[in-house]
Amino acid sequence: MNDTQKMQELDARHVWHPYSATDSNLPVYPVVSAHGVRLKLADGRELLDGMASWWCVIHGYNHPRLNQAITDQLQDMAHVMFGGLTHPKAVALATKLVDITPATLQSVFFSDSGSVSVEVAMKMAIQYWHAKGKPHKQHFASLRHGYHGDTFAAMSVCDPITGMHSLFADSLSQQFFIDAPPAGFDRPCSDADMHSLQQTLQQHGEQIAALILEPVVQGAGGMRFYAPDYLRRARELCNEYHVLLIADEIATGFGRTGKLFACEHADISPDIMCVGKSLTGGYLTLAATLTTSEISHTISNGDPGIFMHGPTFMANPLACAVSLASIELLLETDWQENIQRISRALEQGLAPCRELDTVQQVRILGAIGVVEMKQSVDMKRMVPMFVEAGIWIRPFGKLVYLMPPFVMSDKDIDTLTSAVHSVLQIYSH
Ligand SMILES: *Cc1c(COP(=O)(O)O)cnc(C)c1O
């Protein structure tokens, strides 16, 4: 047995991977390094990365500017507690986030992962209403097909079917689920489309602290795109029924959908916004929950006068430093034109998949390309085919989707999409 095989053996024996079984025979590929848009496997093969490591690695791997930001910060300090202390990178990053997100968002709470930023958002909403003398507003409304993370409160607002709520029935808070908006970014939104939300807010608004949703793109719950007009009308309904709006921009933030934040498609401001994933350019784990001055002041002046949350590694300086560099890097390029370029390349490259009998739909928005199959794919069969073809893609359910790093060239996107097409063609026979 060589070293790689030994490592794989130990991995299979002791290491649990995301959403997987310990004794599964699904392959797990050892990566030894990554540069730009390519992952290098232990056996020397290179894979073109179509996933950006779950939407995060927008500037590619091993980027000199991002490496430098971390190396520089390391000379000063890797970490310092955030209770009673602050540091330059946290302040600069918070200020930058306030600058680039919708204008009403003024206060930033840092945490370590997207799920935790959602927990924080939900606690903010409850504490806000508590301070306003509405302690019954402890429940949430969320959209079917939504995904907001894997911790308990976040899980309680995920789609009840794909989130397997029956399994956790007695542990999960009961929330109010709204029919998902009809699919289609360009589809006009009718009164009927708003009915489920309107009815729920009207009937249960007294108990609902906030509506939480992923603006315009529902990610891990189905890679569904919906009309910005739905979002705009949801914002209006929240105002009408005194329910806060939490925008979970963890997947959509930082340009992926063609706007810096997906809320901009509808020109709305949420009351609370979560960002994560590509916040650090995929280098480290960091997330943030932003809210308005009204909410932060109300919480701070209510009972108990403080916000009840404080992660140990809050605002880690290395993570803040690399986030700042990642955002600067993004904003100093013509990123909008770049996302349109990727969009065109994905559209062109994936169009032939529409001809395959096994394909239900191909849809593109910003730098997201989705091939929805008619049936769930057999990952055990399909993933090795992608690897053989030299690309890294991790489908789920019926969805084969691409979210390349923003630095991927047209030529590489062409290679990626051609490989997807040929794999799906062979897979279909
Ligand atoms: C990934 C994701 C989360 C959870 O983030 P983690 O960092 O995995 O905890 C929450 N919401 C959305 C929309 C996501 O895509």
Mean pLDDT of 393-421: 98
Average pLDDT of the segment spanning 103-128: 98
Checking if the pLDDT of 161 tops 90, the result is yes
* Each residue's pLDDT tens digit, 117-128: 999 999 999 999
Residues 6+ apart with CB under 8 A from 32: 40, 41, 42
- The structure's pTM equals 0.98
pLDDT of res. 217: 98
CA gap 310, 321 in Å, rounded: 20
Q: Helix, strand, or coil here: 427?
A: helix
Active site residue 61: no
Q: What pLDDT is attached to residue 71?
A: 98
| Percent over 90 (pLDDT), the chain | 96
Query: Where do the H-state alpha helices sit in 101-190?
Result: 114-131, 152-156
List the catalytic residue out of 123, 137, 259, 277: 277
191 CB contacts (<8 Å, ≥6 apart)? none
pLDDT tens digits, one per residue of 165-218: 999 989 999 999 999 999 999 998 999 999 999 999 999 999 999 999 999 999
**Structure-model confidence comparison of residues 1 and 209, the more confident one:** 209
List of residues 6+ apart from 27 with CB closer than 8 A: 380, 383, 384, 387
Asked if residue 158 lies in contact with residue 166, where contact means CB atoms within 8 angstroms, the answer is no
For 53-122, the three-class secondary structure string (H helix, E strand, C coil) is: HHHCCCCCECCHHHHHHHHHHHHHCCCCCCCCCCCHHHHHHHHHHHHHCCCCEEEEEEECCHHHHHHHHH
In tens, the pLDDT along 225-264 reads 999 999 999 999 999 999 999 999 999 999 999 999 999 9
What's the confidence (pLDDT) of residue 240? 98
**Is a pLDDT exceeding 80 seen at residue 37?**
yes
Q: Which ligand 1 atom minimizes the distance to the CA of 118?
A: 10
Q: What is the pLDDT of residue 27?
A: 86
Of 49, 89, 123, 147, the catalytic one is 147
Expressed in angstroms and rounded, the spacing between residue 315 Cα and the centre of ligand 1 is 18
Residue 398 annotated to the active site = no
| Catalytically annotated residue among 229, 248, 271, 412 | 248
Token pair for 106: 């003024």
> What mean pLDDT do residues 18-44 have?
92
Question: Which single residue is written with the structure tokens 């919708």?
Answer: 102
State yes or no: cis peptide before 102, omega within 30 of 0: no
Bridge partners (DSSP) listed for residue 393: none
CA distance 321 to 78: 10
The per-residue pLDDT of the chain, averaged, comes to 97
- pLDDT at residue 150 in the model: 97
Return the structure tokens found at 161.
């079917």
Given this model, what pLDDT does residue 26 score? 82
- Distance of CA 66 from the midpoint of ligand 1 (Å): 22
Rounded CA-CA distance 181/131 in Å is 32
The closest residue, in CA terms, to atom 6 on ligand 1 is 114
Give the number of the atom of ligand 1 that is nearest the alpha carbon of residue 251. 15
What span, in angstroms and rounded, lies between the C-alpha atoms of 302 and 304?
Answer: 6
Residue 406: is its pLDDT beyond 80?
A: yes
Question: What average pLDDT does this structure show over 77-96?
Answer: 98
Domains delineated in the chain:
3-62+334-427 (3.90.1150.10), 66-331 (3.40.640.10)
At 117 the pLDDT is: 98
Position 234 scores a pLDDT of 98
**Alpha helix ranges (H) inside 205-307:** 228-240, 293-301
Largest distance between two CA atoms of the chain: 66
**Is 134:241 a contact under the CB 8 Å cutoff?**
no
CB 55 within 8 A of CB 403: yes
pLDDT above 80 (res 24): no
pLDDT at 168: 94
Which of the four pLDDT bands, split at 50, 70 and 90, describes residue 321? very high
Enumerate residues 6+ apart whose C-beta is below 8 A from 170: none
159 CB near ligand 1 (under 6 Å): no
How many helices (H) and strands (E) the chain has is answered by 13, 16
How far from each other are the two terminal CA atoms of the chain, in whole angstroms? 35
Task: Give Cβ neighbours of residue 88 (< 8 Å, ≥ 6 apart).
Answer: none
Answer whether 320 contacts ligand 1 (Cβ < 6 A).
Answer: no
Note if 230 is an active site residue. Answer: no
What share of the chain in percent tops pLDDT 70? 100
Substitution candidate for ligand 1 out of 122, 218, 277 with most atoms within 8 A of CB: 277
